[in-house]
Amino acid sequence: METNKYDVTALACRYFPASSKRNARRRFFNVLRAEKELWMRLTALHFGTYRRNFTPRQYELVIDTLGAPEEAEDSFGEWPR
């Protein structure tokens, strides 16, 4: 069974593969909030902290801004926690 590519936790785990699901999600939201422009655009598209899935438009916005998880640099650890 293929996982939903718009699942927030699944995407977070792809960005932070060494973390547990819960910690990956927490770290991912810290990254999203650290990117002020991205967070403002996501909230304008009705995304919030308690959402479990991205809409296709929200997902594309995240990927366009952060890069695909395979392409993303391992610089997420430098952002605020």
Domain count along the chain: 1
pLDDT tens string 35-75 = 999 999 999 999 988 899 999 999 999 999 999 987 665 55
Residue 80 lies in a domain: no
Using the predicted structure, report yes or no on whether residue 1 has a pLDDT greater than 50: no
| Cβ within 8 Å of residue 61, ≥6 positions away | 38, 41, 42, 45
Residue 54 lies in a domain: yes
Helix (H, G, I), strand (E, B) or coil at 27: helix
| Residues 27, 13: Cα–Cα separation, whole Å | 10
Beta-strand ranges (E) seen in the chain are none
Q: Looking at residue 3, what is its pLDDT? A: 58
Residue-number span of the structural domain to which 24 is assigned = 8-71
Q: How many CB atoms lie within 10 A of CB 19?
A: 15
